[in-house]
Chain A
Amino acid sequence: MSSSPQPTWPAPYKACLALAFDLDGPTGDAMLNGSIWRKPEYFGFGGYGPYRALPRLLDLLDAFALPTTFFVPAWVVENWPTQCQAIVERGHEVAYHGYKHESFYALNLQQQKDVMQRSREVFWKHLHIRAEGFRTPSGDWRAETPAMLVDAGVTYSSSMRGDDRPYLVRVPGHATPLVEIPGRWEMDDYASLAYTRAPDFPSGLDRTASYELTLDNWCREYDGAMDEGLCLTTLFHPKITGKPGRILLLEKLFEHMRQRDDVWFATCRDVAQWWLKEHHHG
């Protein structure tokens, strides 16, 4: 890992916002262990994301002209291809997020490669794209994952939590490093607003936070990161903040964000390309 000093951004910008959503749909642990196929109610909770929340969210992103990255498990693309094509058609980025939201920590190297290959085929078949980015589902990956990603054509990841600036990850055997655009739990809508029973989330069925105070938190994170000239990305989910009430929360957040004219609003792919050009002199 090569640490970067004070970031610089394309003129005239002083900071960067890389808005990102994980369009998980009904994928995840309950699909991986098969239990979801006895839980139509929980399947519906997830399916709401691509089916109902995403179209509304794309309208909102248009209204604020916010380029956005969607990390999408390929199973979601297979089952809601029209909705996912709209992401690309409306100028946003689609990037890798597993096939059924696998934890890469739980997969051996060959299984990781298989997930990437299958996702690559699904993205090409339904979206006619080659994705460049990857966000590791469910947290962790294995030591061999970065090299596997580069082999699979990935140029950046947005998986880690330990910085508020992008950084370069040197990958043995490869001349070009992997760019990491770290996220923060503070900017994950699951941490404040997600709630389900059976499976229980949060595990102790803790309270859902106040929307007003959640907005205040997010605005403070944005203000702080922008004032320091950093790069802030988000781990939002259409099925959580694309609900009819919460999308009004996003609208207020985007209004707040757009008040500044010194912020570069960019997809994660554009941020990664910029960072590589600025910091890698191979």
Chain B
Amino acid sequence: MADSNVWPRGYRCAVVLTVDYNDIHGILTQAPEVAGRDKTLSVWRYGSQRGVTRLLDLFKTLGVASSWCIPGIVAEENPEHIRAILADGHEIACAGYRHQNYDNLDLAAQRADVAKGCEALSALTGQRPTGFRLPAGNGAPGFIETLSDEGIRWSSSWRGDDLPFAHPTAPQVIELPLHYELEDEPYFAFNLSPAVPPAQSRIASYSHTLGNLQMDFAGFHRFGLCYVLRLHPEIIATPGRIGVLRELLEGIQRHDDVWIATAGDVAQWWADSSAQVSEDHPAAVYERHYRDYLK
């Protein structure tokens, strides 16, 4: 029995394919000392060099739309990829300008980064993005209202639900919650020095990772939820791993009751059709408490 009967046209569940395209700017935030170290940076440049095109080819073959979360600086440095993503009908969302850890920024600096990122993307695409994903860290109190002021209508940075929800402080912003088990990075990201992950863990089994992702999808499908896959071109779009993604997506497409849509389309549907969050939603509980502790 599905938990919900919330999707359009009789669809049982929604699948949103999101791609975080950060090029070298993600690792430069995480480990600033790698600046100028070409071997390490090339691990993350692989996305621009090879991964983006391979991923777009797969999406085109399968006929699926996706949503790309991109820092403005990455777009400025790779305009040909931005044009290709747009030309293939995908959505472009903002991940700030410089890929910063928002835990280190106050609200004014966060707002400035969102605005600059949106402007950089607009200049290249001709459209202001309506979606936003935090590159790293958390928004300060008031951040969701700030996103709303900047014209953002969907966010995909929180957890706490497996359906979209309207943010309690700014219900016009729809959240598409994340799930660690639906990300490629925890399974596959690797670098020797600096060590990624910090434990220098073995790379996970491809076939068992596919098995996990398939079982996760089976659960989201069974319960009628919103499956938000989070991919990175430099991680998933290698010659060996692209087949894992292809097999996963082909399996999803074999269901005729799955709505594969962009984050923007899912958020729009949710905004048009659904109520505000209940008082016991984690976002509402958080909102009730946090001020008491920030003194």
Contacts and interface: CB of A to CB of B under 8 A. Distances in A.
B219 A248 contact: yes
Most buried by A among B137, B219, B223, B283: B219
Contact of B103 (A38, A244, A248): A38
Interface in A185-225: 195-198, 200, 202-208, 210-213
Contact of B199 (A204, A210, A246, A248): A204
Contact of B289 (A37, A196, A245): A37
Contacts of A208: 180-181, 186-187, 204, 212
Interface stretch (B17-25, B34-42, B92-100, B153-161): B153-161
A139 interface: no
B129 to A, nearest CB: 20
Contact of B218 (A40, A47, A245): A245
Contact of A245 (B159, B205, B217): B217
A41 interface: yes
Contacts of B179: 243
A53 to B, nearest CB: 9
Interface string A24-60: 0010000000100111111111111001100010000
Given A43-B282, A44-B282, A45-B160, A211 B215 contact: yes
B137 A198 contact: yes
Interface string B206-221: 0011011001111110
A205 B183 CA distance: 13
Interface in B264-292: 280-283, 285-286, 289-290
A247 B218 CA distance: 10
Interface in B207-259: 208-209, 211-212, 215-220, 222-223, 225
A105 interface: no
B77 to A, nearest CB: 26
A80 interface: yes
Contact residue range for chain B? Answer: 35 or more
B283 A244 contact: no
Contact of B215 (A47, A202, A245): A245
B294 A38 contact: yes
Contact of A41 (B158, B181, B198): B158
B81 to A, nearest CB: 26
Contact of B223 (A56, A82, A206): A56
A9 B121 CA distance: 68
Contacts, number: 148
Interface residues of A, number: 44
A273 interface: no
Contacts of B281: 47, 51
A204 B216 contact: no
Contact of A34 (B161, B219, B220, B293): B293
Nearest to A48: B160
B53 interface: no
Given A44-B177, A247-B219, A212 B198 contact: no
A61 interface: no
B18 to A, nearest CB: 15
B160 A51 contact: yes
B212 A245 contact: yes
B197 interface: yes
Interface of A: 26, 34, 37-48, 51-52, 56, 79-80, 82-83, 195-198, 200, 202-208, 210-213, 243-249
Given A207-B186, A208-B186, 5 more contacts: A196-B180, A198-B137, A207-B197, A210-B212, A244-B162
28 contacts: A37-B289, A37-B294, A40-B286, A41-B138, A44-B160, A45-B160, A48-B161, A51-B280, A51-B282, A52-B160, A52-B161, A83-B280, A195-B181, A203-B199, A204-B198, A205-B197, A205-B199, A206-B197, A207-B186, A207-B187, A207-B203, A208-B181, A210-B208, A211-B208, A211-B215, A245-B216, A245-B217, A246-B216
